Structure 1
């Protein structure tokens, strides 16, 4: 709860605590306390002086806050000059006695010598001390099939080298094409690139990546548009299948996080207001032993400031790479398997950047298999909220991450078959994906087929719409220690997987597919589309229903479903949650529409949504009793395409 107390110098000690806290003081009181020798007030007065400008009347208010940030920030109100937004106060050394945190002054530019000293420090710390999850330089892996050999100095020849799998250290570049065609290798340019790639033909982002790689004493870098033959479908399928190994075996991945395209470059000048201004004030006494204090506008680390991180391919590049160096809009950001950091020092508090260790092969293999299931579903959710230049890339862009999950399942002796983004070992639970909708707009079917309708990949992001696994997380919450159910009767699988069929497009079993279908058996209910809900004649009780459509049925086209149309509900799974008071039971059903008939008369269906029934359950009323038995097809065989 917010603690707002009148300002007294002795109360500021409360700001040392990592709890929400805010205090107010007039500039007049602050100036008086500083003159009495209060060390803290002298620092705060020096921080606001450029805005107060000697106007120390009682109506000029300084607000000190730790409400939204772990560091001390100041807002000032009053006088002729407004301070819009907070300023951060920090010190370059630990003070120990006042609530001002240690932080770093941000470099003038992410290309500066000071910035590269920080990069080297991060690299050395990781390589020398992170022995548990991060590989070291002694763990040299083989080069990818093709790399750019760049030499070690400016002016050295750059050429595309076809390797023989020899061991060597290399970097990768993570970048966005941004709607432009970057310099790329094609069948026409392959031999030319193997001889020489002129410096002036290389776009700015690639040039900066080469400069950085050389400064890191690496002579090889892998860049997708140059190391994969872009107009050779077979080469693309082969190389994309190896993406997991390419990024996982690199020493470091350079992320053009602030760039919108190949011509934007890696490096950015840091705005002066974000760097750090050293405080100087007559009442702020200093000597050789006094700490130095600084102010700046806080760097907010918003995702929108890093356009690269909105791209689908980048998710697995981040997760698989042992080390990622982001060249951000305001500063450098570092990630490895055992931590993250940034120049200003506040990156560890950022939540939108998913934690790399959570998807480390060693971590997944050491945890119960349900943790692996939830880790995969979290990756799917994150991925579906991102953008792809080419819709067909959905499975290749997650192929590397899927291989990590497969390795984890193999270590547990489990079934590892993977089809269209779904795992056979928990297929029924994997069907509980839903489309998160703000308003009434659903997802969008891809313009060109890329996945069967039972796969999350059959729906595209549509503005605020994305895929979520809320249903599967409900199941996870009813478990103890990831394995045991709190109630042996908590979970009931009503549907059964009979067969799963898939035709792959290429050699990668986790890659793009040409066709797929599944056959399930379970109780089937007839329904009619009624507004935004379903009318299910078999339902006996007034249980609360939530119908999530996979896309907008009203739009004209092959997916159009008119009001009153017949749909079908396949009962998948029910959960009795002992954590809810009163006891609550939920039932999830796949919502289907018939789209054809097999030669033997078997109906063929498509998935169009997910239905959830909720009931404040009386234990005498199991799920089966919620419906009129004569209207339930108990063991229906359902083929879904």
Structure 2
């Protein structure tokens, strides 16, 4: 038995794609009694399902020694390892530590004094001989601009166009106002380039580009009032950023005549043009034949194509046996084979960290993801990649696209018998609104260059849903489910909270009013509601800033008739929460925020003078509290904070509780609301502060859930404690 290195093209040329003709080969099925290494044994109970390797560390000479003693399995493994050392000469066979991670032929490789890397062995997809327990994968050329990559991507796109009813063709559609004509042209100086064209009222086929702008000051080629006439005539190729150039090349290879790029097809210094075109954004992405997603590029100069180390291929030759091809791939920096890779997802796919892009992905009928090492094609029905094996490197599945917005074609497309899966009436409508909340949960943690874009970056999606659902929209919350939409909470711990910014962008009761890198959650998707709160609402309105009814707002309010519970917001210092916090002398750091209740006494300790106040504590009767501040709040002048009596640095500020409703709890407040455990009911409150100088006007500063041990205790609390802290019922306004 021997191995020989072969070219990727040889492997592609010899692949037999008739799967029925494949023959399985198991190098571990014969006698391995002479094995002194760690190859799987045929007596292993798990062996018939997968080759389960010993995960203990070893070195190459261990396997070579066992192979020399006659173990056929180790001989095969030694050839794989020899091929790896040939492909990656930075690994020394004498000093590198090796460890199988389990089944599936994934090897952890640790060179001396270096961090571990992961190598994946696979058999080429379509090969005649299939190695038992080894995963299949198409071989990757290391160059996504190659004809091989484009041929594969084109086939996947064509399969979608021909066979997916939900995606439709995308050809001969109504064109946007302006597009880039990507056919190469030359000006009088013979420079190559493209041009901007007016296409409104025409039909044709076009692509969109979804990309990270990067530093906008570096993008000098963008359509302005002063350059638009020039661009209608000619845009020099050399002036286009690399990502734009590559997108044009993709269009040409896919025989697509037009391309839409936001910075070139919208006049960037015209507020009116931006507002008009932004209202059409949904249809621009929905109607495009494909959206080219520059997912691996952090900016406009990163390009759509990537060059990485190609797969290394070897052929195993054995007298009297068919040739066996094996591929070898370095997973590090792009792979799915290591569990901790997901933590660096946005590092490898920076496009997906951008809030604007989330909407673009939801709206597009199909996308060409330009990843490192390979293309992926995603649509309304599938997600496929060049190599055809999503379980191994070099890709993750992109973050969920959210609602299937691109397939909506008006109110009729939401008929329960077409898309509801048996759901009817209120159940079907409720499903869509819950899906919207999940969209917001994902969207809220994504990045925006300008905070004022919080609502505009999701407005096209909201517009399409409004057309289909016939509902009103209030700064990110649907009018018909206003109560549910108010019950959002910030997932991040207090240490990661941000203060509400100076750039007001939404009413305090809207999730769009805050930034949270860890995202938001809603009580609503996991609960069942009573609707008593909705009867208290007298009016709810928002004023939009421009022509987009679903975009930026300048003001908003909810007016309702309600009684509020008076209590206090407490900033708790570390001295009152941990023994270690008491070792300081003064100025104890902030530990957390909570309500001032009889359950938040300072821990007793000898010689410790706890923080105390003369104000009454809220009696929660042993209930469990889920307290979630919306933002970092410590402005004493604005919120009325005052200091404690004692050694520490606790503070109190007056606040009010607005009771919203009782929901189906999970025995621990909102934090356990996602576990699926059936628990006792809990009660939800908005935490409000009255705005100084504006009696009866409040802003939201947090969310509170109270969960009692039993329904009887909850009813007792509402009879004995709640009435004592209530203010008289009156008209209040939330802004």
State the secondary structure of the residue aligned to 2:106.
Answer: strand
Match for residue 388 of structure 1 among 443, 448, 452: 448
Does the alignment pair 1:144 with 2:173? no
Residue 605 of structure 1 corresponds to which residue in structure 2?
698
**Structure whose alpha-carbon radius of gyration is higher:** 2
Is the alpha carbon distance of 1:492 and 1:387 closer, same or farther for their aligned partners in structure 2, counting shifts above 3 Å? same
Residue 623 of structure 2 corresponds to which residue in structure 1?
543
Does the alignment pair 1:629 with 2:667? no
CA offsets 1:73-126 (integer angstroms, 9 cap, x no match): 023579x89893221110014655610011011122111111111121111111
CA distance in 2, matches of 1:557, 1:177: 40
Please report how far the alpha carbon of residue 499 of structure 1 lies from its aligned counterpart in structure 2 after TM superposition.
1.2
Residue 339 of structure 2 corresponds to which residue in structure 1?
none
CA distance in 2, matches of 1:15, 1:153: 62
Is the alpha carbon distance of 1:73 and 1:405 closer, same or farther for their aligned partners in structure 2, counting shifts above 3 Å? same
**What does residue range 111-130 of structure 1 map to in structure 2 within 5 Å?**
111-130=145-164
CA distance in 2, matches of 1:287, 1:146: 65
Please report how far the alpha carbon of residue 344 of structure 1 lies from its aligned counterpart in structure 2 after TM superposition.
3.8
CA offsets 1:414-473 (integer angstroms, 9 cap, x no match): xx0001001111111111111122353323323321111111111123xxx443124223
Contact 1:358–1:375 (8 Å) recurs in 2: no
Does the alignment pair 1:593 with 2:689? yes
State the secondary structure of the residue aligned to 2:705.
Answer: strand
Contact 1:6–1:25 (8 Å) recurs in 2: no
Point out where structure 1 has 5 or more consecutive residues left out of the alignment.
411-415, 476-484
CA distance in 2, matches of 1:316, 1:16: 46
Please report how far the alpha carbon of residue 497 of structure 1 lies from its aligned counterpart in structure 2 after TM superposition.
2.8
Match for residue 424 of structure 1 among 479, 487, 498: 479
CA offsets 1:301-357 (integer angstroms, 9 cap, x no match): 633112122111111111111111122233322211111123344447845511456
CA offsets 1:224-280 (integer angstroms, 9 cap, x no match): 00111111111111111111100111001111222222222222111x2xx321135
Residue 133 of structure 2 corresponds to which residue in structure 1?
99
Match for residue 499 of structure 1 among 539, 542, 549: 539
Match for residue 119 of structure 2 among 73, 76, 87: 87
Is the alpha carbon distance of 1:12 and 1:589 closer, same or farther for their aligned partners in structure 2, counting shifts above 3 Å? same
Residue 238 of structure 1 corresponds to which residue in structure 2?
276
CA offsets 1:547-580 (integer angstroms, 9 cap, x no match): 2111111267857855322111101122234898
Is the alpha carbon distance of 1:389 and 1:407 closer, same or farther for their aligned partners in structure 2, counting shifts above 3 Å? same
Match for residue 614 of structure 1 among 700, 707, 716: 707
CA distance in 2, matches of 1:55, 1:166: 62
Aligned length: 601
Residue 7 of structure 2 corresponds to which residue in structure 1?
none
Residue 294 of structure 1 corresponds to which residue in structure 2?
327
Residue 82 of structure 2 corresponds to which residue in structure 1?
49
Which stretch shows the higher mean deviation, 177-186 or 439-448? 439-448
CA distance in 1, matches of 2:142, 2:96: 33
Which stretch shows the higher mean deviation, 169-178 or 360-369? 360-369
Residue 379 of structure 2 corresponds to which residue in structure 1?
336
Contact 1:175–1:256 (8 Å) recurs in 2: yes
State the secondary structure of the residue aligned to 2:463.
Answer: helix
Is the alpha carbon distance of 1:110 and 1:559 closer, same or farther for their aligned partners in structure 2, counting shifts above 3 Å? farther
Residue 467 of structure 1 corresponds to which residue in structure 2?
519
CA distance in 2, matches of 1:130, 1:213: 21
Residue 305 of structure 1 corresponds to which residue in structure 2?
348
Residue 370 of structure 1 corresponds to which residue in structure 2?
430
Residue 12 of structure 2 corresponds to which residue in structure 1?
none
Contact 1:340–1:348 (8 Å) recurs in 2: no
Does the alignment pair 1:277 with 2:332? no
Contact 1:260–1:308 (8 Å) recurs in 2: yes
CA distance in 2, matches of 1:13, 1:166: 66
Is the alpha carbon distance of 1:233 and 1:541 closer, same or farther for their aligned partners in structure 2, counting shifts above 3 Å? same
State the secondary structure of the residue aligned to 1:616.
Answer: coil
Q: TM-score when scaled to structure 1? A: 0.84
Is the alpha carbon distance of 1:104 and 1:247 closer, same or farther for their aligned partners in structure 2, counting shifts above 3 Å? same
CA distance in 1, matches of 2:71, 2:530: 63
Residue 633 of structure 2 corresponds to which residue in structure 1?
553
Q: TM-score when scaled to structure 2? A: 0.74
CA distance in 2, matches of 1:456, 1:361: 27
Does the alignment pair 1:571 with 2:631? no
Please report how far the alpha carbon of residue 45 of structure 1 lies from its aligned counterpart in structure 2 after TM superposition.
2.3
Does the alignment pair 1:403 with 2:463? yes
Please report how far the alpha carbon of residue 403 of structure 1 lies from its aligned counterpart in structure 2 after TM superposition.
2.4
Contact 1:519–1:639 (8 Å) recurs in 2: yes
CA distance in 1, matches of 2:463, 2:53: 46
Residue 198 of structure 2 corresponds to which residue in structure 1?
162
CA offsets 1:378-424 (integer angstroms, 9 cap, x no match): 221222111112221111110122124324424xxxxx000100111
Is the alpha carbon distance of 1:130 and 1:582 closer, same or farther for their aligned partners in structure 2, counting shifts above 3 Å? closer
CA offsets 1:489-547 (integer angstroms, 9 cap, x no match): x7464464321111112222111111111123444211112222112655451212122
Please report how far the alpha carbon of residue 359 of structure 1 lies from its aligned counterpart in structure 2 after TM superposition.
4.9
CA offsets 1:564-604 (integer angstroms, 9 cap, x no match): 22111101122234898784222111111111566xxx510
CA offsets 1:129-153 (integer angstroms, 9 cap, x no match): 112x21214x532110111112268
Residue 203 of structure 1 corresponds to which residue in structure 2?
241
Is the alpha carbon distance of 1:211 and 1:564 closer, same or farther for their aligned partners in structure 2, counting shifts above 3 Å? same
Residue 479 of structure 1 corresponds to which residue in structure 2?
none
Residue 64 of structure 1 corresponds to which residue in structure 2?
100
Please report how far the alpha carbon of residue 44 of structure 1 lies from its aligned counterpart in structure 2 after TM superposition.
2.6
Contact 2:177–2:200 (8 Å) recurs in 1: yes
Is the alpha carbon distance of 1:429 and 1:156 closer, same or farther for their aligned partners in structure 2, counting shifts above 3 Å? same
Is the alpha carbon distance of 1:180 and 1:135 closer, same or farther for their aligned partners in structure 2, counting shifts above 3 Å? same
Residue 610 of structure 2 corresponds to which residue in structure 1?
none
Point out where structure 2 has 5 or more consecutive residues left out of the alignment.
1-36, 337-344, 421-427, 572-592, 598-616, 643-650, 668-675
Residue 594 of structure 2 corresponds to which residue in structure 1?
533
CA distance in 1, matches of 2:522, 2:41: 48
Q: CA RMSD for the aligned pairs?
A: 3.5
CA distance in 1, matches of 2:522, 2:122: 41
